[in-house]
Structure 1
Amino acid sequence: MTEGSAEKVNMAFIAAIVAVATIGGFMFGYDSGVINGTQKGLESAFDLGKLGIGVNVGAILVGSSIGAFLAGRMADLIGRRGVMMLSAVLFLASAILAGAAGSSAIFIVARIIGGLGVGAASVISPVYISEVTPAAVRGRLSSVQQVMIISGLTGAFVANFVLARYAGGSTAELWLGFPAWRWMFWLQAIPAAIYFLALLVIPESPRYLVARGQEERAHAVLTRLFGAETASRKVVEIRNSLAADHHRPKLGDLIDKASGKIRPIVWTGIGLAVFQQLVGINVVFYYGATLWEAVGFSEDYALQTNILSGVLSIGACLATIALVDRVGRKPLLLMGSAGMAVTLATVAYAFSTAVTAPGGAVSLPGNNGVIALVAANLYVIFFNMSWGPIMWVMLGEMFPNQIRGSGLAVSGFAQWIANALISVSFPALAVSPGLAITYTGYAFFAAVSFFFVRALVHETKGRELEDMVG
């Protein structure tokens, strides 16, 4: 059953609240990407080695995994909007403290705080969007989240590049006697404040309101979204889709009462979340500048390469928005898995040819530098046309109403744990066994993800949230 006729659906209002919700995606991207380009500053300020850099970069992921898990549960207690507002406060606090950190320990605490916000925003924004949008365009509007994530990453890359260029380097003094890398963090306070203020004007999710017994409020929100006639019907459908005993959602709902086992849909959600990270995308996002410098690029050129990857990512996400509600989720995931496997293998080959000059400088011979750059950016395009946005779209819509918050909690936690394992391990793996073997591993996981999708992922295109089972 469709959520109202085209004449009754208030698309202007829906677009406005989706725009606000996806600022969380922008913050997710900015907070994740700002570290890329600040690592020289961290090394010099805190006297860090390779392991220390890995810990400081990976600190955000500790907070993100905790934030994702707690947010899924808190969303069932204080609402989707309440969790997003809390994440905005965490982003603001993290930006100020990270830029002012006088030691590695304080910096790690600041990044964990930011990670709590990132984790919360990563799982709640897609849920909120899926719960306030019509089924016919849900995939399209949910995919905007990934566009904003990449916009945040690209925004961080551009800000880092501009500040470093203006100051004469990321460790050079910029304003008020502070080096440029500290200002890279402080700039994040501006979008964080905008996010918090914008959240004050959007409504709570109607599906959360029904679950909490606030059906009059839910009806009012649905009326603004889809019209009064559809609102009355949707309240009944949402109520009926909840558990027969109408209890409040809880983590135990993930276990099938009949079999006593975890529901298959939960394993599918966890698999989608984990494979999105095992293909190594955040190595590009977190270590892009360091990676390209490791194979002979200058800092300035490496930062420009990050910006190129960000722009290509946004373009790929826009293509997904045009395709996801026409082609479907599963075909795009399969296409992405195959494309990533091939391009990652190509990057691995190019890195296997790296040579070290007598002075210690590393370079890729012949045209292999160009091959690595082209293949890496094609990989980014394939990811952002498929697993980047589609994983979040599916996690936001694939779970039945009763278990959506809990399903997101578990899947989001798994996603960030996998993210942490890949990101923290990369600096050491890049040294031994080396970039070529490391990227071969990412290519292997991309290939495996193809068969996972083909066997276990079911299409959700055009289906109402109340019709989801698992």
Structure 2
Amino acid sequence: MTSTTERRKSNTFYVILIAGAAALGGFLFGFDTAVINGAVAAISKAFNANSVETGLAVSLALLGSAVGAFYAGKIADRYGRVKAMVVASVLFTISAIGSGLGVGIWDFTFWRLLGGLAVGAASVIAPAYIAECSPTHLRGRLGSLQQLAIVVGIFIALLCDYFIAVSAGSAESPFLFGIAAWRWMFWTEIPPAVLYGMAALMIPESPRYLVAQGREPEAASVLTKILGGNALAKIEEIRQTVLRERQPKFSDLLGRSGGLLPIVWIGIGLSVFQQLVGINVIFYYSSVLWRAVGFSEKDSLTTTVITAAVNIITTLIAIAFVDKFGRKPLLILGSLGMVVTLGTMTAVFRTAQLDAAGNLTLNGSAGLIALLAANFYVFCFGFSWGPVTWVLLGEMFNNKIRAAALSVAAAIQWVANFAVSTTFPPILQYFGLGAAYGLYTIAAAISFFFVLFFIKETKGIELEDM
């Protein structure tokens, strides 16, 4: 009896290790998208760039992510999940080196675009690999590792920005070896990018990919390590659901009428709502946002780091409960919480006064209410739509269409992220913060009904039975 328990424990430890290695892609995804937060002002000064050029330098990386996400599924199905991770690791490393060496706004934008391709690829490969290598009873928690890795990546990037900026005096000032601080912000990404590639080379290939390639003995050895005991029955199950005669195609996502399958539309809906509630406005523009309501630069950076820490704590809550309560209840609770907190921020910012210079000011308790509402909003997103979207996207599609459907859903997510991120500055400029948060409140309210009517629970169901 003890040996069975011990074997199960060692199997679980092994699965956590390989899922953790894959989730390093999520860490870099978070790190790469957030590291620019502390460097934006310094970059536009260093390259003498106007607001449009600076905006594109930030947001074009997101369109690169859409392209990376779209093609990652094809690459992962043709060459394997592990090789796709190694390619992403190389792109992350080159992008980090190049961004720090940038000589003008356009070559800098090119290096960021390369990083974007890697981010997009990592956003697809990690959830697919984790879902395919996890035992059913652990799949929700391990799938949530992707979101935990993303939020830890965001937190560490903002922390690096904070310490480098504070040590140098500002992001523009010289730091080590007299090189500008903002360049070092990008170079801090090099060690985790290299580590990701090394970790990818040490983990086994996905058993579902191996079966699809006809490499069943290898698949059996991987499954034995993951599940313990005899893996032959599981291989037979996978064989029944994987079409071995050809690579999955995007045409597999189309129904008889020629339109996308309903399940693909639901995946796209999940992806879009995860962005339309405005979460990335908090992470890309938080220092700008808090400065807009009268915080100093240092206080804004501190607040941003605190918010990122709140995000980590709440993601840990999601990991604890996603396999217990299921996916759907967490999404419903999150949507309701976001409606209340975003609604509060809308009300506070709509009634905020302008000072003589035309800047928004929050008087008395209004500033505290806005700060609390913002952090409670991150809390509500962090235990629900943040991690659960990735868990569902990794497991809601059947084996035949998983990689292709995940690619489409993740690519659309990046396009939605791009749309929300690029529309925030003009909405802020012409209509005010109240209007921006009003739009995100409406999106959160619609997301509640979307989950209620369209999302099916996947807790405890084998991937082969989706």
Superposition TM-score, scaled by structure 1 size: 0.96
The alpha-carbon deviation at position 361 of structure 1 amounts to 4.7
**In the alignment, what sits opposite 1:172?**
173
**In the alignment, what sits opposite 2:40?**
39
Give, as a single letter, the amino acid of the residue that structure 1 aligns with 2:238: I
**In the alignment, what sits opposite 1:108?**
109
- Say whether residues 1:254 and 2:253 are aligned partners: yes
Counterparts of 1:342 and 1:362, CA distance in 2: 22
**In the alignment, what sits opposite 2:296?**
298
Q: How does 1:379-394 map to 2 (within 5 A)?
A: 379-394=377-392
Does the CA-based 8 Å contact 2:35-2:185 persist in structure 1? yes
**In the alignment, what sits opposite 1:433?**
431
**Residues paired across the two proteins, number:** 461
Counterparts of 2:37 and 2:72, CA distance in 1: 26
Counterparts of 1:295 and 1:203, CA distance in 2: 50
Does the CA-based 8 Å contact 1:65-1:412 persist in structure 2? yes
Give, as a single letter, the amino acid of the residue that structure 1 aligns with 2:445: A
Does the CA-based 8 Å contact 1:94-1:110 persist in structure 2? yes
Give, as a single letter, the amino acid of the residue that structure 1 aligns with 2:363: P
The verdict on how the C-alpha distance between 1:359 and 1:267 changes in structure 2, with shifts beyond 3 A counting, is: closer
The verdict on how the C-alpha distance between 1:435 and 1:459 changes in structure 2, with shifts beyond 3 A counting, is: same
- CA offsets, 1:185-239, max 9 Å, x none? 111011111111111110000001111221121111111211241x111110001
Counterparts of 1:19 and 1:412, CA distance in 2: 20
Does the CA-based 8 Å contact 2:336-2:445 persist in structure 1? yes
Does the CA-based 8 Å contact 1:54-1:427 persist in structure 2? no
The alpha-carbon deviation at position 52 of structure 1 amounts to 2.7
Give, as a single letter, the amino acid of the residue that structure 1 aligns with 2:164: L
Counterparts of 2:282 and 2:92, CA distance in 1: 22
- CA offsets, 1:149-197, max 9 Å, x none? 0000000111111011101111111122222111111110111111111
Secondary structure of the residue that 1:77 maps to in structure 2?
helix
**In the alignment, what sits opposite 2:161?**
160
**In the alignment, what sits opposite 2:98?**
97
Give, as a single letter, the amino acid of the residue that structure 1 aligns with 2:250: L
Give, as a single letter, the amino acid of the residue that structure 1 aligns with 2:148: V
- Say whether residues 1:240 and 2:223 are aligned partners: no
Does the CA-based 8 Å contact 2:135-2:226 persist in structure 1? no
Counterparts of 1:192 and 1:386, CA distance in 2: 28
Counterparts of 2:357 and 2:115, CA distance in 1: 40
Secondary structure of the residue that 2:103 maps to in structure 1?
coil
The alpha-carbon deviation at position 330 of structure 1 amounts to 0.4
The alpha-carbon deviation at position 51 of structure 1 amounts to 2.5
The alpha-carbon deviation at position 36 of structure 1 amounts to 1.0
- CA offsets, 1:299-319, max 9 Å, x none? 111111111011111110010
Does the CA-based 8 Å contact 2:68-2:121 persist in structure 1? yes
The alpha-carbon deviation at position 362 of structure 1 amounts to 3.7
The alpha-carbon deviation at position 354 of structure 1 amounts to 2.9
Counterparts of 1:260 and 1:234, CA distance in 2: 33
Identical pairs, percent: 48
Counterparts of 1:317 and 1:105, CA distance in 2: 36
**In the alignment, what sits opposite 2:334?**
336
Does the CA-based 8 Å contact 2:338-2:441 persist in structure 1? yes
**In the alignment, what sits opposite 1:416?**
414
Counterparts of 2:80 and 2:427, CA distance in 1: 41
The alpha-carbon deviation at position 290 of structure 1 amounts to 1.1
Does the CA-based 8 Å contact 1:51-1:428 persist in structure 2? no
Does the CA-based 8 Å contact 2:274-2:389 persist in structure 1? yes
Counterparts of 1:7 and 1:246, CA distance in 2: 39
**In the alignment, what sits opposite 1:268?**
266
The alpha-carbon deviation at position 19 of structure 1 amounts to 1.3
Counterparts of 1:300 and 1:377, CA distance in 2: 18
Does the CA-based 8 Å contact 1:50-1:427 persist in structure 2? no
Give, as a single letter, the amino acid of the residue that structure 1 aligns with 2:193: A
Give, as a single letter, the amino acid of the residue that structure 1 aligns with 2:88: S
The verdict on how the C-alpha distance between 1:439 and 1:361 changes in structure 2, with shifts beyond 3 A counting, is: closer
The alpha-carbon deviation at position 40 of structure 1 amounts to 1.3
Give, as a single letter, the amino acid of the residue that structure 1 aligns with 2:314: A
**In the alignment, what sits opposite 1:57?**
58
Secondary structure of the residue that 1:401 maps to in structure 2?
coil
Does the CA-based 8 Å contact 2:330-2:383 persist in structure 1? yes
**In the alignment, what sits opposite 2:89?**
88
Give, as a single letter, the amino acid of the residue that structure 2 aligns with 1:386: S
Does the CA-based 8 Å contact 1:51-1:427 persist in structure 2? no
- CA offsets, 1:395-437, max 9 Å, x none? 0011000100110111011101001101112111110112110
The alpha-carbon deviation at position 359 of structure 1 amounts to 4.1
Counterparts of 2:459 and 2:241, CA distance in 1: 19
Superposition TM-score, scaled by structure 2 size: 0.96
**In the alignment, what sits opposite 1:320?**
318
Give the one of 405, 408, 430 matched to 1:407: 405
Counterparts of 1:142 and 1:431, CA distance in 2: 38
- CA offsets, 1:227-276, max 9 Å, x none? 241x1111100010124x7433111111234x544211101100001110
Does the CA-based 8 Å contact 2:273-2:444 persist in structure 1? yes
Counterparts of 1:49 and 1:288, CA distance in 2: 20
